[in-house]
Chains A and B, each alone.
Chain A
Amino acid sequence: MALSIASLSARKNMWPWLLLAPLAIYMAVFFLVPLADVAVMSVTEPRPTLANYERVLTTALYQRVFVNTFATAAIVTICCLIVGYPLAYLMANSKPRTAMLILLLVTMSFWTSFLVRTYAWMVLLGNNGPLIWLLRAIGMEQPPQLLFTRFSSTLAMVHILAPYMVMNIYSVMKKIDPTLIRSAESLGARGLSLFRHVYLPLTAPGIANGSVLVFVICLGFYVTPVLLGSPREQMIAGLIGNQIDEFLAFGMGSAMAMVLLFVTLVILTIYHRRFGLDKLWG
């Protein structure tokens, strides 16, 4: 009897590995290998060397791109917070009908592809578009160029990434027990102090979640800066694309890609240590 029970449990322990195997093998071959390829190329193209990294990290031009990318990501994150927090608050505290409509709007924006939304901003900010038309209508003679600037790129990215921020903060806000707020009010907290001491700390996890997500996505953003941004103020993803597309400089492109990956992973690891990564995509 003891023998059969042991063999039964041995067979049971094989089962999860069998179920996991197809996916694990697939990811190893079609995810890890290409990634490794990038790492390898960064030190072997055009010949075995660390020169790529040296150039990437020391050339003034590239350094400017890194700084620009970081700065833009930071700005976008802050703007998403400014835009997203009030919206999440509105969603969490309006009448159910209103809240549902706003949720629908945010969800729609979320599910509309980056490309379509980028294009929509091109339409909006174009020289013959509604915004310029509006500016002319209120009397501005020579409206400034809106498109293909840092402004247009940043603005579009804020719009595209705001739903991530809103969803994160909203999900945290929804879970806040209203009796908590009421008891704080009964103890004397009002308005700004209520917000600062009670509401803000309670929503902090949502803010942290949303900010990390937005920042990390923005760092690696390709489509919007390339289509809408100023060609003189590139972000790193566009730079990498250039290296591969135009110059066929796989070594340089890979080195840049590895730097981007490294920074992204560092940020995510710090976040994971503090909060746990599974919460990010909840």
Chain B
Amino acid sequence: MNRFMRWLGIAVVVFIAAPLVIVVPMSFSEARSLQFPPPGYWLGYYRAYFTDVSWLVPTWNSILIASATTVLTMALVVPATFALVRHRFRGKSIADLMMLMPLAVPHIVMAVGYYSYFGDLGIVHTHLGVILAHTCLSVPIAFLVLSANLKGFDRTLERAAQSLGASPTRTFIHVTLPILRPGLVISALFAFIQSFDETVVAIFISGRGAETLPRKMFDSIRQEADPVIAVISTLLFAAVLIGLTAPLLLSRWRGRRARIGTG
């Protein structure tokens, strides 16, 4: 591979990495506002975050809302995915496309709609409102992941289970679900992250007690550029890092243990 490509590649890597990396030292900075290089390092802003109610409440709201959204999304998506992957019926291709519709609509458009509609229903600035909205927005990604998993499912296993005496229900419980579990977990995880990070709709319909973390961060950035945001950014960034590397490390550790065991 020629030198030009390699250097270009390195430049791009730096471009991608720099913003992600920069927030980490800034979160430890002593300065009152953004200042580079930081005058000194301390954990003060970390402490500030973990003790400030005005930050902890939105954090808790986001966790709560994302969890509820995940449950609702999975409850709706799991049966629908089975219907779309395993059955043939008229209108299936339209239904397939409809599942992905929320991905095609810009969030700002949905935000306007939810602001008006939920306003009429009286559920703006409530947890319920945000949960209902976020569920719609999480459905496509949960569906995509789960349907990919389900399409790859070997149906001979279900036939085998039935031939061995398991009724369709017991087959589902003892064979289908356990094998599908990783796909379900990832699907739920994506739904959770989608809701937790969602900003635009949250800006318009969360608030006053049901404020989400992204909404609070957005307001804060606009008003005062609080250094605590660097702390939150670092924590979120660390969460992503752990989330991505942990499964890899876990499977490697498990593999090593199995080899030692059978050796």
Interface residues, chain A, with chain B CB atoms under 8 Å away: 13, 15-17, 19-20, 22-24, 26-27, 30-31, 33-35, 37-38, 41, 83-84, 86-87, 89-90, 93-94, 102, 104-109, 111-124, 126, 128-130, 132-133, 159, 162-163, 216, 219-220, 222-223, 227, 237, 240-241, 244-245, 250, 253-254, 257-258, 260-261, 264-265, 268, 277-278, 281
Contacts and interface: CB of A to CB of B under 8 A. Distances in A.
Interface string B216-253: 01100110010001101100110011011100000000
Interface string B170-209: 0000000000000000000000010001011001100000
Contacts of B64: none
26 contacts: A27-B101, A34-B116, A37-B113, A37-B117, A41-B112, A41-B116, A90-B6, A90-B12, A105-B17, A108-B244, A113-B197, A116-B23, A116-B232, A116-B236, A123-B19, A123-B34, A124-B18, A216-B104, A220-B106, A220-B108, A222-B203, A240-B109, A244-B111, A254-B112, A257-B113, A261-B105
Contacts of B229: 119
Given A89-B5, A89-B9, A128-B34, A123 B17 contact: no
Contacts of A245: 204
Given A15-B87, A123-B34, 12 more contacts: A24-B95, A30-B132, A31-B102, A90-B6, A90-B12, A115-B199, A132-B36, A159-B16, A227-B222, A241-B204, A253-B112, A254-B116
B20 A222 contact: no
Given A114-B199, A115-B217, A105 B236 contact: no
A241 B113 CA distance: 12
B115 interface: yes
Contact of B98 (A13, A27, A159, A244): A27
A260 B12 contact: no
A261 B5 CA distance: 39
7 tightest Cβ-Cβ pairs between the two chains A and B: A220-B106, A34-B113, A120-B19, A19-B83, A16-B87, A113-B197, A90-B9
B34 to A, nearest CB: 5
Nearest to B27: A123
A258 B136 CA distance: 19
A176 B256 CA distance: 33
A102 B16 CA distance: 10
A122 to B, nearest CB: 7
A22 B74 CA distance: 11
Contact of B16 (A15, A27, A87, A114): A87
B109 A120 contact: no
Interface residues of B, number: 86
Given A22-B80, A257-B108, A93 B114 contact: no
A237 B101 contact: no
Secondary structure of the A contact surface, majority rule:
helix
A94 B1 CA distance: 8
Contacts of B160: none
B135 A86 contact: no
Nearest to A25: B76
Contact of A19 (B19, B82, B232): B82
B199 A237 contact: no
Given A87-B13, A105-B16, A35 B22 contact: no
Interface in B58-111: 75-77, 79-80, 82-84, 86-87, 89, 95-111
A106 B117 CA distance: 38
A176 to B, nearest CB: 15
Nearest to A239: B108
A106 B9 CA distance: 12
Interface in B1-53: 1, 5-6, 8-9, 12-13, 15-20, 22-23, 26, 33-37
Contacts of A216: 104
Contacts of B83: 15-17, 19-20
A259 to B, nearest CB: 10
A222 B201 CA distance: 10
A20 B236 contact: no
B160 to A, nearest CB: 21
B100 A237 contact: no
Given A111-B193, A130-B36, A133-B37, A120 B240 contact: no
Given A27-B139, A109-B20, A281-B100, A222 B107 contact: yes
B133 interface: yes
A41 to B, nearest CB: 6
A222 B111 CA distance: 11
B204 A87 contact: no
Contacts of B225: 122
A260 B109 CA distance: 8
B211 to A, nearest CB: 14
A129 B100 contact: no
A250 B222 CA distance: 23
A34 B86 CA distance: 31
A125 to B, nearest CB: 10
Nearest to A267: B104
A129 B34 contact: yes
